[in-house]
Chains A and B, each alone.
Chain A
Amino acid sequence: MPLLDIRSLDKSFTADNKEITVLDRLSLSIEDRDFVSIVGPTGCGKSTFLHIVGGFESKTGGEVRLNDRPLDAPGPDRGMMFQDHSLFPWLTALENVCWPLEMKGLPRAKRLEMAREYLDLVHLGRYADLYPEQLSGGMKQRAALARLLALDPQMFLMDEPFGALDSQTRELLQEELHAIWRHRRKTVLFVTHDIDEAVYLGTRLLVFTARPGRIKADIRIEADERTANFRTSPEFFKTRTRVWDLLREEVLKARALEEN
């Protein structure tokens, strides 16, 4: 039995009296401990898809089941890291990371200690007492990542989590995330525009079509442990090129869609 089972999921929005279909009969099964990378042209519905899995956005049609139960509300079993990081502006980085720990009922001293550890893990320990608007884009993303780790959900829903990072920090955090996924036995849905990142991290890679979003390709990436060697392996390059070609078609379609 798959962990997450999605059957002909439809989603449309009505804006300015016009209905736009964002997801069109999307079907997909995700197993426990999959690391699913999702790539697709801009505006194809990747964020919307994660929001539905998170239970934040309602679906228009179809079925979404988690652990064989219909999914219709958010819960701490699925942790979302939003594209805009969504840190609470009136809380410091530390207080932001503390909140999920507080919701779990941890005593104050314990949650402060843990929150500091998570901030250290994303190399943000020195900035614990700054407010989000005092942090750079990359620092905000790292604070949001620390908060997600503090929530410690079974399933990570990550929407372009490393988009604003410099490439060195990005690689370090990719390795960190890979280690967490491996050792703590998590399931991850990971949206990104960076194909290298998608291939490096994913055990499975989904390519979405231009809007309305469907799954154009579902690629398995077998290599088990991801080390620096994997980044230079023939398999890595083969997959990368294949994804590039698939994506390129859809990006061109999406562009044509925008021009009409």
Chain B
Amino acid sequence: MKEPIGRFIARWYSIPLLLVVWQVAVSSGLVQSRLLPGPAAVVEVLFSQIMSGVLVYHAAVTLGRALSGFALAATVGIPFAAAMARAPLCRNLFEPIFFFGYPVPKIALFPIFTYIFGLGTQSKIAFTFLECLYPIVVSSYFGFRGIRTRLVWTARNFGAGPWTVFWRVVLPSALPAIFSGLRIALPVAIIVVVLTEMIGDSIGLGYYITVWSTRFTFQNVYAAIIVVGVCGFSLDQILVQIRRRFVHEAPDAAR
């Protein structure tokens, strides 16, 4: 019983430590700025804004958009990566486009998205989809390419048809890489939605942050940032749990 608690403390103590340092710096007068209110003030705002439902509403908007774009990218990206890895025609057609487009800052295209999809939810989901598609496709693609031929041969030796081979050899082999792609894409989804909401919107956490920044009320800004962080962290943990359920990991590397 004592052991897990000790490990929990060892793992997470840096966060309360940061809060303490922050509080001390602010209340001792070391840092005096409207740009940095103390954590106590931020937490107070955080609670009142959550209780009143304001932050909950904006967070729900942001999360809804992020998850829609992310889910769409996964639904399209994973089969697409499989096709690219298995079919030479598809590979030759799309591989260069993907590898060239990967490092391009796609945010530069956002204005075009707003012309097509408007300033609301649609353009955000479409843009999140695009941003998430890259890490998911690229990582899954390497997963689908790195399949050990002998394992496929073994399954065919047992009499397995293409469909069985796909579900029972190809997919399990590629799953670790697919999940790394998803884990990269998930925070990207949240960042991108917040960012595009900051550019122009009337709802969502990005909008909330922009509004309170222009009003110079930074307690609210930090409160919203904490909400973004907590959402991102929780979603990542959920993804880790899902992965643990579906992906076999080497027992000694499982932690």
Which of B148, B153, B158, B247 is the one whose CB lies under 8 Å from A99? Answer: B158
State whether the Cβ of A76 lies closer than 8 Å to any Cβ in chain B: yes
Interface stretch, picked from A22-30, A84-92, A161-169, A182-190, is A84-92
State whether the Cβ of A100 lies closer than 8 Å to any Cβ in chain B: yes
Q: Please name the residue on chain B nearest to A104 by beta carbon.
A: B159
With A131-B248, A133-B250 in contact, do A84 and B150 touch (Cβ < 8 Å)? Answer: yes
A169 to B159, CA, bound (A): 31
| Closest CB in chain A relative to B162 CB, distance in Å | 12
In B126-155, which residues have CB < 8 Å from any A CB?
Answer: 148, 150-151, 153-155
Interface mask (A60-99 → B, CB under 8 Å = 1, otherwise 0): 0000000000000111101110101010111100000001
State whether the Cβ of B232 lies closer than 8 Å to any Cβ in chain A: no
Contact B157 A134 (CB under 8 A): no
In A150-173, which residues have CB < 8 Å from any B CB?
Answer: 151
State whether the Cβ of B160 lies closer than 8 Å to any Cβ in chain A: yes
Report A-chain residues with C-beta under 8 Å of the C-beta of B148.
Answer: 86
What's the dominant secondary structure at chain B's contact region? helix
Report B-chain residues with C-beta under 8 Å of the C-beta of A78.
Answer: 157
Which of B150, B159, B160, B247 is the one whose CB lies under 8 Å from A86? Answer: B150
State whether the Cβ of A56 lies closer than 8 Å to any Cβ in chain B: yes
In B143-184, which residues have CB < 8 Å from any A CB?
Answer: 148, 150-151, 153-160, 169, 172
| Closest CB in chain B relative to A111 CB, distance in Å | 12
State whether the Cβ of A103 lies closer than 8 Å to any Cβ in chain B: yes
With A90-B172, A90-B248, A131-B248 in contact, do A82 and B159 touch (Cβ < 8 Å)? Answer: no
A223 to B155, CA, bound (A): 36
Report A-chain residues with C-beta under 8 Å of the C-beta of B150.
Answer: 82, 84, 86
Contact A103 B248 (CB under 8 A): no
Tell me how many residues of A have a C-beta within 8 Å of chain B.
24
Contact A56 B153 (CB under 8 A): yes
Contact A89 B159 (CB under 8 A): no
Report A-chain residues with C-beta under 8 Å of the C-beta of B250.
Answer: 131, 133
State whether the Cβ of A45 lies closer than 8 Å to any Cβ in chain B: no
Contact B154 A131 (CB under 8 A): no
A100 to B156, CA, bound (A): 10
State whether the Cβ of A54 lies closer than 8 Å to any Cβ in chain B: yes
Contact B157 A54 (CB under 8 A): yes
Which of B153, B156, B160, B248 is the one whose CB lies under 8 Å from A89? Answer: B248
| Closest CB in chain B relative to A45 CB, distance in Å | 17
Contact A86 B154 (CB under 8 A): yes
Report B-chain residues with C-beta under 8 Å of the C-beta of A103.
Answer: 158-160
Report A-chain residues with C-beta under 8 Å of the C-beta of B156.
Answer: 56, 73-74
Contact A80 B154 (CB under 8 A): yes
Which of A80, A84, A89, A133 is the one whose CB lies under 8 Å from B157? Answer: A80
State whether the Cβ of B29 lies closer than 8 Å to any Cβ in chain A: no
* Most interface-central of A54, A74, A84, A103 (chain B CB within 10 A): A74
Contact A74 B248 (CB under 8 A): no
A54 to B155, CA, bound (A): 12
| Closest CB in chain A relative to B179 CB, distance in Å | 13
| Closest CB in chain B relative to A154 CB, distance in Å | 13
A133 to B158, CA, bound (A): 22
A6 to B153, CA, bound (A): 22
Which of B151, B157, B159, B247 is the one whose CB lies under 8 Å from A88? Answer: B151
Q: Please name the residue on chain A nearest to B154 by beta carbon.
A: A86
Contact A75 B151 (CB under 8 A): no
Which of B158, B172, B247, B251 is the one whose CB lies under 8 Å from A76? Answer: B158
Q: Please name the residue on chain B nearest to A102 by beta carbon.
A: B158
Contact B159 A76 (CB under 8 A): yes
Contact A134 B251 (CB under 8 A): yes
Report A-chain residues with C-beta under 8 Å of the C-beta of B251.
Answer: 131, 133-134
Contact B248 A86 (CB under 8 A): no
Report B-chain residues with C-beta under 8 Å of the C-beta of A91.
Answer: 248
Contact A79 B157 (CB under 8 A): yes
A56 to B154, CA, bound (A): 9
With A86-B148, A134-B251 in contact, do A54 and B153 touch (Cβ < 8 Å)? Answer: yes
A34 to B250, CA, bound (A): 41
Contact A80 B153 (CB under 8 A): yes
A51 to B157, CA, bound (A): 11
A100 to B160, CA, bound (A): 9
Contact A76 B157 (CB under 8 A): yes
Interface mask (B174-216 → A, CB under 8 Å = 1, otherwise 0): 0000000000000000000000000000000000000000000
Q: List 9 A-B contacts (CB under 8 A).
A: A54-B157, A74-B157, A75-B159, A89-B248, A90-B248, A100-B158, A103-B158, A103-B159, A131-B251
Identify 4 new A-B residue pairs, CB closer than 8 A, beyond the known A74-B153, A86-B151.
A54-B157, A73-B156, A76-B157, A80-B153
